[in-house]
Every structure is written in structure tokens, then in C-alpha cells.
Amino acid sequence: MKIHEKPRTICDNPNSVFSYFAWPTVARLPDGSLAMACSGFRMRHVCPFGKAVICYSRDDGETWTRPAPVIDTPLDDRDAGLCVSGNRVIMTSFNNNVAFQRRVIGDQVGKSADLIRAYLDRVPTDAEERFLGSTYAVSHDGGMVFGEIHRSPVTSPHGPCALPDGRILWVGRIHDPEDKSGTPVLCCELNENEEFVPIGAIPPCIDAHGEGFACEPHAVYLPDGRLLVAIRVQRSGEHPLFTVYLTESADGGLTFSVPRPILPEEAGSPPHFLLHSSGALLLTYACRKGNYGIRARISRDLGRTFGEEILLTEHAPSPDLGYPASVERKDGTVLTVYYENNGETSTIRQLIWEP
């Protein structure tokens, strides 16, 4: 493994109170340019001003445009995912209800807290009826213009998965901010009306101490026809978890194997897959314990086994970081984006490396 470019900031807003950007995804568009989507123009981790925005790079990640909003509801629009299938590009997000945001802000004091409370008092009464949930917008011109906002039964940080035959599957957790159970994680398929419809379910993630909370999955379709899904699994208490489990489907998302852990119990999460042109399967995730940073592991056998952990970054200023996503550059190197909070602002960073 070789680092070609050290981490640098590619998306921020340092001269404003709306300086929190997080939870990115990166993808290559049909015209060969790159797109990076994230949640931005926020004040903090939970913030009703969040918008799902998009940036473009015409030079394979050397430079990026400033962020432009795509999904901007009256609610807290968060993780932004991307899926490219032919000339169709799907951008995803999700949001929190007003009651949840009020609980988070609580009795905090300060200008930002006062501004958030004032905004929440003015959220339109029908906003949750219209927009609450997991949302997505579709572009039919290669990712330049996006249509109206739709809602999906499931959510995941990096969005759906495109199959070679034109099918689009979205493996995600049912959107319910009040649900703290371990299941369910579903596989949905986009139908001819551009609606996601459930077709299969993933079994619970269980270890010797019981069921872990399963969320934030990412799926990749492999050349042998398997759909491979990595899942964030966590648990607090006496037997903590913050790790990645793996499950697979051999029938196009109808049924899935029993999930199994592929990382140590607190190695990090959430996961993202990239199938490299060399045949290597790259798994990236964030470590939020000890030496904070972005990690990777490589599989040379299409996900059956993974190699030792690779430190892509380390010594980050806080555990508020991660959600890495990767894309292959034209020269075969890999561009990985992630977010990092330094205590003052939260920015989108990138690094370029060779697996």
C-alpha cells in the first residue's frame, strides 16, 4: 500500500457558523467526472439546517466545485449517498423528526442552540408528513439536474447498489429514529415507478452476548453474481461492539446468509466497499477508539477473507470522523473521502492511495 496524496480538505465553509460538513459518498458519473455528496451547511452534528449537497471534479479529484444543495427539506437532511446506473444517478439522504432534535438540543445554551430552537419553532406543521424519512432524488442526465424528493423504506449512508443488468438494489435499515432494536435490515429494489420495494431481509447479527444493533450497511455486486453486504454492528455496556459484519446473497437480494463478524469487536465502522479493476475488494471504515483515523482492509478473493488492517490516516483530533467512501481514479489509484471534526469546524477530506 502506498499513499499518493496526504489528506487534504476538499469541502468546507470556514467563514460561517454553518461550517459542519459530514457523511460523504463519492462516485464516478457517466461523463467521467467525479461527484462527492455529503451533508453540509450545518451548525453541528444534529442540526435542522443540514442539506444534502453535491460537488463535482472534472480532473479526477485534483479540484472540486463548491457544494450545491440537492435535497433541502425543512428537516435535518443528513448522510448523502450516490448510486450511478447508466445515465441515471440517485442521491439519497435521511432526516430526523423535530421532537428528536428538541431532545438533542435540550437545555443547551449559546447562540447556536438558541438559533436551532428558534428554527424548530417555525418548522411548517406539514413538514414531517411530507418529508420525514429516508429520502432520495433521481437525475436522468448523468447527475446534473435532480428531480423531486421521494421517500424510501430504508436508509444507509452510501445509498443503493447498481447491478450490471440495470437493477438497482438498496440494502438499508428501516428508517425509524425511535427504534433501537437490532433488526430489521432489508433489501429493496427500484421498480419501474422509481419506488423502492422490499424484496428480502437480512438475519440478525448475533454473537455470544446476544444481538447487536445493525445499521448503515453497504452492498457491492461481485463478478461471481453474489451481493455482498457489510453492516455496522454496535452495542454498549459490558460487551461493547463497534464493528463490521458480513452477509451475502446468491439470489439477487431475496435471501441472505447469517451475518458474521469480519473485524475485531471495536475495530471501527461504518463500512464501504469498492471493487477495484485489479479484482481487489477494498473495505474502508473509521476507527473511533484510541488512534482515531480511517482504516482499510483488502480482500483478494472477493470478500471471503480480508487482509490485515491498513492505516490510511491516524491521530485525528476527535472521534467525530469517518464514513469513508472510495472511488477508483483513471490511473488505478484510489480516492477516499471522509469527514473530520477538529472541534471548530467539520470538513470533508480526501486522500489518494494505491492498494
**What is the pairing mode between strands 68-71 and 260-261?**
unpaired
Per-residue pLDDT of the chain (355 residues; tens, 9 = 90+): 888 988 999 999 999 999 999 999 999 999 999 999 999 999 999 999 999 999 999 999 999 999 999 999 999 999 999 999 999 999 999 999 999 999 999 999 888 899 999 999 999 999 999 999 999 999 999 999 999 999 999 999 999 999 999 999 999 999 875 665 556 899 999 999 999 999 999 999 999 999 999 999 999 999 999 999 999 999 999 999 999 999 999 999 999 999 999 999 999 999 999 999 999 999 999 999 999 999 999 999 999 999 999 999 999 999 999 999 999 999 999 999 999 999 889 999 999 999 9
Q: Which domains does the chain have, with CATH numbers?
A: 2-354 (2.120.10.10)
What is the pTM assigned to this prediction? 0.96
Q: Within the chain, how many helices (H) and strands (E) appear?
A: 3, 27
On the 0-12 / 13-18 / 19+ scale of CB atoms within 10 A, 70 is buried
Q: Within 10 Å of residue 41's Cβ, how many Cβ atoms?
A: 20
Per DSSP, the residues of 281-341 read EEEEEEE-SSS-EEEEEEESSTTS-----EESS---S-S-EEEEEEEE-TTS-EEEEEEEE
For residues 257 and 269, what is the distance between their CA atoms, to the nearest angstrom?
20
By residue count, the chain amounts to 355
